[in-house]
Structure 1
């Protein structure tokens, strides 16, 4: 094999050129350039699509705007169908036209776009695809360097944004107008967008068209006892556009939705629906309880009034097509809640104070207090004929206003006259609502407040009353005998004719005269009740002289007025009951005042009122009564009811006495009355001693003009001598009594001086008392106790008259310091309260704050002005009848 000679440069250029070219072609392009070219190609596709298909998009937005308005379903279904066909053909034509003129862009166009966007001159992207024409190494090296620099330059090309240049193709901006209309229509449709778009694409024929043309009005009517207004309910979302739900009268209210289509309503509510524009279609109400047909009530209209008792979906259908649908939640009516937060306590007048709270969903129909004997199981049979038939004493209590639910209330009931008073009983508070559901408090065992009798005859009468009430059939004879025995002991009850006649009447009713001495049937229940009541009143008359009877009449008058206000009685009846209440209150105050005066006249120590008590005078009470009357006249029934309830609370805790904190003159008046009692007591003791001395003198002296055998003689002389000796022996005692009498007279003179300085004129009995004391002193000094005793009796009578006159004058002058006070048990260490339970200010005439709002004079005057203005306008018959009817309704609350 021969060796090949070395080649020269001319012998091998071609292969080198080819190899060099291949190496250049295999060189990698600039990093990221293919991606940039691809994105540029995609933008070119987008621009071409926008230019060819913008009419399609604009037409679609315009169709959506029309569909969202919701008017297409109201058209004739054939017209609706024709519009949909035309729209479909137009849409298809625009799509076909777009595809027909669509020209796909090329890679060269993508590179050219990149060069144009980035401002590259001399088409550098094309350079990357060129090859060198020569294979010279120097040229190849230069080419490679050129490509390296070009790749570095093209490493970060800007892709740019699409620029379809639609302004030239859409000079009127129809595409923008279509988009704007679509946005407005969709915003107006809101949550109804989906259903409306579906309805726009589905023409309704037959019964479906009837459903769309129908008008549905429906509302929920709660039971009357709830006090809730009717609830207007909207149609279902599928057809709400055909029913106006935004405009409602002032007498209705929107139901509060529980969910998107849920409405809550109380048990016993009724669904009232009216459907019109349904032609001959059969309309049904579909509930969880069944299907109910609506009855015709007018031309082309049907209605139904259906009671709802079950929660669930409710719909109205016409020939099976749903016109409206809802989801109704029937909420249960819970039983009332009642409690006794504190055990009942007695008031100062021994009435039972029931402290309680009540509440209910919609309103309490009745409230009562159940009382049973604690020594018997609950619900046991009656123990005696006097018991109630169910052995339970039930007392109705006032039902509070719903605004007072959950608040602590106090009511007063007097059980002192009941035979169970003084024994342990079981109390339960029972509240009922309009559905008859009961709410009961936890039973509380207490001692039922009874009356304390200090008078022995009164206590004996009460004991026999209890025996008669407990077992009339067995005890009526013995009770009658004891009562007759009490009646004939006149001195035990100060010969009170009223007591005697009452006891004799009780005996005659138990054992009539015609039956005495032989057997007969026991008295009837009515007779026993009458006698029991008569004995109770007789004992009260003996005990306090009629104060308790006056209090009972006051309580009855308060209850009658409260019940009349609760039922909305006419103003004439309220005025009459108000007069009766004012009379009963004045009688009660007079009875307490008379009792206080009698105790003072008897020398008893008058009790001091608690410093926390608020003193009430007769004028204060009269002012309150007039204010209460004015409230009722001006239609302020709620404020009047509150004031009456607080007035009852005040009277139940009223007591008579004197203030602990008195003015200087009041203290001086009290001191003078105390000294008057001391003088009267000293004068009485002096009278007793004078009487004994006068009696002893007559017994020892005998007849000074006659001897033992009736003839005058030595014994008469002896008697004269004895009288002289006795007189000398008694001069010492007479002088001491004379000194005491003069001392009592000087004390009386000091009181007369002080009384004259304070009150002015001195009552005439003071002068008679002074004269009697002066004569008594002279007779005692002269040793004549007999005539001194007569003078002392006159002085004593005059002192009693003077004390009574001074007492009356002091009470008239210091009425605000000697009168009636009101306190609440257990509040002696708290701030002072006025008779209405409010915090009293330091000054009696200062502002009063509390939980009871009583209108001031300005509020009452304003109410009176409104009433007068309404009456004036009501008399103007030229006003429209609607306005006059409205004015009459406003005046109803003032009548």
Structure 2
């Protein structure tokens, strides 16, 4: 044995396992390369037979395709056998050696050719062999090359494999055996297994599984309306179907039809006559009608008139939807005063009942939440009827509940009177004349303190004048009736709630009463009552802050210090009050008192959140500030005209100290001093004030003072015209609406000036009120136009806290305002809440089905679904 063979032999013994694997890989590689067409044909034929394609084709076509497949299989088997060469051991050694660096196995089988007998040369040769032995020791099995992309560029082997997978899923191995029945002259064989099949499919809304009729016992109970499908797989006449469950009298087919369908409508029998036939007794379970019930004792009404009526509904398969209908109980109405007239026709109030977002709907409890305070039937007797329906269009109704339509209550006498006249106006248009008389009587020579502010009085005068004009010209339509009713509602809210100062005082008083109750050791019931009073007063205060931001606002260029601003989140506020109540219930009054003081300080530091704009002001912002200044000047001028009108009816008053006047100088918005000196207040244009005699003696007020007011009104009109000329070029419908509103304000100012020069202060006040309303509309539309033009431009439009507050980015709670006046925001509409909740649940379900997500995330999503 040579030296090389001596060194290679032990190495190969150590590499026996990887050498064997490499040799097996060579065999697999050559088998795949030689015989892949053969097994592709075999797989394709097997898939076709399992799918039963031979049953759909003609016998001749099946024989032709089968012959071609057999010839192709024989050809590729012969060709593969000719190409296949069994690998020997040396080929496996060469494959493994080729994968090693330096081919060590080949080197170990070499012999020294030069320098044999030289000691140095032999030593070098032995060192080389030792290095090759070390490399050979690291040898591993070489993977075979099983790729066929070059031999099968069209992927025919994958097409055959796909067909086999489909056949295994949707076909049957037994169907391949039916190919023997296609031979010419073959005797038909009786198939093993059923020669008929049937299914019973319950209605989809029941969520019940379908029943395989062949597996059912003698008795079957299924929901009424289930569909039966029967298929007969033999010659016509071998089987027939008889049934008494459908009650069919028309469109009856033959009992021997190979495919039959009908619906189970009643109890009866179902029978299949013939070899292997069967009979069943069928019980049809009727779908029960849903039912709903509500308890009048569960009705809750909040201080602002929002009702919450709890109800319970149930159905055997689930409630699909429902509605609540409020119908006026005319017989129970106290037909007095404005209600003696026959009411105008009005449709019942129909509200959708809320359905559960998660869980089943077969039995649930929910609450109908709605605020119907502004409806004409507020506080009038109504009947509430709840109605629910299921997927089978069956309905169930509750007993009629007799109640007064829940709505907000007004405790201020004047506000309650305004709401009563609003109700009478909406009751029937024929009451309009009576409403005018009542409002005129209420506002005639009002007592001191009857109106909270001059603004409330002016609003009533404008409403009264508008309604009187409509009545005299027979112009009261449904639209104008709704406009007047809305204006009366806003006036009543203003009279009832007052301004932000009143709301703050009520909240402070509630805090003081609660604090005193804690110090005096009041009972738990008293503390709970005072705590609820504090909650209501706080909500009222926050609502007033929001309304103040919407009505008055602040100048967009103001910079407020961050430490003087505090934005509260509604949830944080609720948690703080809950914490106070929890401390009181635990008897920890010292801590509760400290938390109450912190709460009071936080509420008084509350600031309306403003967006931080750029250092410079855009032309639109400058125009908005100018219009805000014009509005304030017009307000001051109107207040002074109103005080002058009061002094005409109080000749004995001195220096403007008549009843209802605010101080000797007229208070905020003063234009000219009532003390006979020219004063420049917030409502006076610089340089436009006219000095003159301020005597209040009867017969002297129509001269210099009225002329001064007229001149200042004219100057204000000219300033508005200058601002209109300098408006930025804002296109769109909102820009045109802003210009139209400012034009309307200008015409109203012209009318006010003419009335002042004619010494008709009442007419002037009405025209000034119209001018202020038009200015507010113009500023609102201008803000919308600016927002549309700035859309998509970062950094613009955020420095605005416009004077009407309608354009503010945030309300006092830091929530974004998604609309202007009348928009309830994104979290106050119940439909938006349910819609958003449904979208979140759908997104959670979608993500939980994505298996590529981390397991910890999937586990969290599943726990969310289990909880909700």
Q: What range describes the TM-score normalised by the shorter chain of this pair?
A: 0.3 to 0.5
Larger radius of gyration: 1
